[in-house]
Amino acid sequence: MDTRKGRNKVNEETNEVAAQQSHTVWDNLKGLIQSRDQTKKIIGTLLFGLPIILVFIFFGLPSDKMGAAGASNAARVNKTFISLADFSQEEQRIQKMQEYYAQMFGQPISFDPERQRGMRQQAVETLVQMELLAQASDKERILVSDKEILSFIQEMNEFKKDGQFQPSYYFQLLEANRISPTSFENKIKKQVQTQRTRQLFESAARPSQLEVDKLSELSRQQWNVQFVKLDREEQGKKMAVSDAEIAEHLAKEDFKKRVVSYFEANRSRYDVPERISAQLILVKFVPGKADTEKAAFDKIQDIQKKAETQDFGQLAQQFSDDVGTKSKKGDLGYFSRGEKEMGLENAAFALDVGKVSSPIKGFNSYQLVKVTDRKPVAKAELANVEKKIAGELLGKDKFEVMQNQLAENLKSGQIETVNSTLKTMGVNWDETGFFSLDAPQIPKLSEKELKMAALELSPKNKMSRQLVQVKGNRYILHLKEAKLVDLDKSRDEAKMLAQQSSNQLQDDWIQQFRNQSTVQINPLVIQ
């Protein structure tokens, strides 16, 4: 059968089924959901929470307000606050996961400021999504009874003696880890609700046999798609422009005015900013855990006193917790503003060369910084950069002309013509590698517009007939290779389709609830 028609037919049928499921899922399940035991909450005893192996590294309780600049909590979802302790634990979990996979695949990993900001962003967003799911579940009355939670806890070996549940062990263990029963049990509630909601969506998303058959057909088809990204700003700078062309155009009054105007609008791009070189000593603590913060502060103060008479680099090698700089005597190299964390950066740029800062408090560490050199701002002059600007502008103009030519070439569908133009532009094809047509994501083409354009290709029409525009850039797609593979006999098509459909239903459900909710994220936790 025609591949594209087959895909479109599957999409139409799948969309119709998904739409019906989306409208009827709650109607069909209301009776089941609302019939669950809805006994009242027993304050301070066995209610809800996470498995104990995860919960015992949570410390502290959320306060009842965000505080000054929201500093006492990581985020707020409607009237519920996400504590810094929970946020810190989630960030540590993500870091350990990244370290594990890096070790598994034998790849080096360094937790530079950019990666750390990414982990913090991921951590807070994960917790926000979990809280949204819990609140949405409450709203739809997806409830967990006290009896279920009591049974759950009674089966936990940590609270048993001679094979029997011991309430005294339960409260003693929580107290030893400074966790209140209410906080612990609320985490269990969210975990059990999450599991139950997931099961309900999977039940509602059971596929028909027709869908399973179509998915099996698509799973056998694998494609490798070539693509090029046309970035006028970046690739325009690489276009060949001769000195003669630059001189010729600078002699023209209109072009000269264009260069001057561009320089005035982008002057700071050509300035060389102030730069300093510095050394760093960093001592970590656990956010929200006062004893670790005090220990870190005492340690950094002691190091600060030692730095008055001892070599800062030697102290960094001996005491710093920063893996990336410890072996280099704390050397951060040269940097300008905007390249380091704000607190460290502000302190460093305020110092004279050779001076050591006072302790700087970061989100999860105290730091000392010593400035070793300083290079002042070098202001750009038009006379020094006008040829550079002229070359960039002419390169972008050439790129624009050739991009328009490519658009015309695509209408003919001739790969040779397109390749000739791309070669002149100095642009190379990239490839997705082989992927199954039932894959939820296409490698390297994750944006919705690109995925849709890729699936419009077929063995008969291999080239996209127009430029695909995504976020200011344009793309060309070409089906390089297609093949059929044998089905994996161990693969459960029905289960896979149910998982994909339930994922989409649940994601849409949470997003709809989020659109109706108030979500505030403390900006300090992702700096």
Cα–Cα distances in Å, from 380 out to 81, 195, 250, 269, 326? 49, 60, 19, 9, 36
> What pLDDT was estimated at residue 491?
61
Element (H, E) at 224: strand 221-230
pLDDT greater than 60 at residue 54: no
**What end-to-end distance do the CA atoms of the chain give, in Å?**
54
Domain(s) labelled CATH 3.10.50.40 in the chain stretch across 272-375
Contacts for 399 with CB less than 8 Å, ≥ 6 apart: 230, 232, 235, 236, 239, 425
> What pLDDT was estimated at residue 498?
66
pTM exceeds 0.95, yes or no? no
216-261 pLDDT per residue, tens: 777 788 899 999 898 887 777 778 888 999 999 999 999 999 999 9
Does the domain formed by 272-375 have CATH 2.40.50.100?
no
pLDDT greater than 50 at residue 2: no
Q: Provide the 10 A C-beta neighbour count for residue 176.
A: 9
Contact 73, 92 (CB under 8 A): no
The larger pLDDT score, comparing residue 165 to residue 310, is at 310
442-488 pLDDT per residue, tens: 888 888 888 888 888 988 888 888 898 888 889 999 999 989 887 66
Domain(s) labelled CATH 1.10.4030 in the chain stretch across 36-204+513-526
> What pLDDT was estimated at residue 369?
95
115-173 pLDDT per residue, tens: 788 888 899 999 999 899 889 988 888 888 888 877 777 887 878 888 888 888 888 88
pLDDT greater than 90 at residue 311: yes
**What is the fold of 36-204+513-526?**
Triger factor/SurA peptide-binding fold (1.10.4030)
Distance CA 346, CA 188 (A): 42
> What pLDDT was estimated at residue 445?
86
